[in-house]
Amino acid sequence: MITTETENRTTKTEIELYVINKVKELRKAANLSQEKLSLELKLDSSFVGHAERLQREEKYNLNHINEIAKYFDVPIASLFPPQYLKTDCIEEYWEKHPKQRKKYDPKPE
């Protein structure tokens, strides 16, 4: 994946960005605002906007993804890449969230 300076500062991993961008595509195709989609999903009105901002930590979890798929009437699989990503997503997450690594990494640093 080619990264830009903005992507280097993101708190989100490649897989998280993929899902966020797929949801954003669906939202824009349906001409829905971030606020409207947030409210349709019974979330805080700013949630989708925060999820779409690269520097914010909010992201969709599996429960959100299920409700998004239902709302747009698409298969859940359509929100994910067609094949696994080669990126080590756990390592990438830990690099972006070092405090989480300390909590969950079984290897001492």
CATH code for position 9? 1.10.260.40
pLDDT tens sequence for the chain (109 residues): 444 444 458 889 999 999 999 999 999 999 999 999 999 999 999 999 999 999 999 999 999 999 999 999 999 999 999 999 999 998 999 898 888 888 876 765 5
Residue 52 lies in a domain: yes
36: domain range? Answer: 1-76
For residue 61, being part of any structural domain is answered with yes
- pTM, two decimals, is 0.83
Q: What's the structural domain count of the chain?
A: 1
pLDDT of residue 84: 93
68 contacts 26 by C-beta, under 8 angstroms:
yes
Output the pLDDT for position 46: 97
Predicted confidence at residue 64, as pLDDT, reads 97
Q: Establish if 88 belongs to a structural domain.
A: no
